[in-house]
Amino acid sequence: MSSITSEVALDLFPFLKVYKDGTLERLAGVEVLPPGLDPETNVLSKDILILPKTGVSARIYRPNLVTEPQKLPLVVYFHGGAFCAASPASLEYHTSLNKLVAEANIIALSVDYRLVPEHPLPTAYEDSWAALQWVASHKEENGNHEAWIKDYVELDEVFLTGDSSGANIAHHLALRIKESNLSYKLKIVGIGMIHPYFWGTNPIGSEVTDQFRKELVDKWWLYVCPSDKGCDDPLINPFVDGSSDLANLACDRILVIVAEKDILKERGRLYYDRLVKSGWKGKAEFMETEGEDHVFHIFRPDCAKAKSLIQRLASFFKM
């Protein structure tokens, strides 16, 4: 937190403010909840350390009543926040994961990847990749095994899921798996992409007329990933030269969810359309929520449309 006398150098609404004295004030995802038993959903959670060397951790969730030897799908979840805000412990994400686990009857691992600017990109991707490697290690006889994964997870039913920047991470991990030996250890059944954070220099669709929000999203990305490629860096624009072929995604199914009023909607729709035409052998599904904006379900989890979104995700995991 900056001193009162320091001026704001950069206002990255709604995520954070950077002050001229170099200090940082995060505005989003700062209210946190501890793990434990959620009385509303009857879901249990606990925090676990994945990589002691880097401090990468996660919050793992399971239904309170799991009858052994019942094995459940594992959903590896990556939270949003434009790579610079929020965590699995954030009130909104903890609440959302409890509801998702209860609705879908799954085990969920919400990854606490490190944030920009303290940890510049690609740290978030590397931390998330390390979490996947750790999950895959549970197929080995010996290792640092987590009891909830060992006892309750069907390791041949793993899904990657995320919202906003978390959906972006899921996309890149699914491409990386195809190119690595992890593909022999870990089968990704599907990816749930909620309001994916993809972008580009040249505006499309509503980005052309909504100049205010176009500039806002530009500013987010240029802050978290300063480079000469700008908003056409392959990390944020999956369609530019140098990007991996979508046909190489290592999964059988993808569900792309967008919101009608979201400035990122056009990119999500484009991603779905390009994927379908890419030669990828899987099954792609698309869902658009009318009348709603970016990650509305995180901020209003009890509204009817948020419940519908969670139900659609839950059915995706069960198919």
**Longest alpha-carbon distance in the chain:** 60
Of residues 94, 163, 262, 297, which has the active-site annotation? 262
Look up residue 250 and give its two tokens: 């290592």
Q: How many CB atoms lie within 10 A of CB 207?
A: 20
Q: How far apart are CA 249 and CA 151, in angstroms?
A: 29
Q: How far apart are CA 155 and CA 137, in angstroms?
A: 10
Overall residue count recorded for the chain in this entry = 319
Q: How far apart are CA 161 and CA 169, in angstroms?
A: 9
Tell me the one-letter amino acid at 189: V
Of residues 87, 110, 164, 165, which has the active-site annotation? 164
> Annotated catalytic, 245?
no
> Annotated catalytic, 294?
yes
DSSP 137: G
> Annotated catalytic, 243?
no
Q: How far apart are CA 317 and CA 12, in angstroms?
A: 35
Enzyme catalytic residues = 164, 262, 294
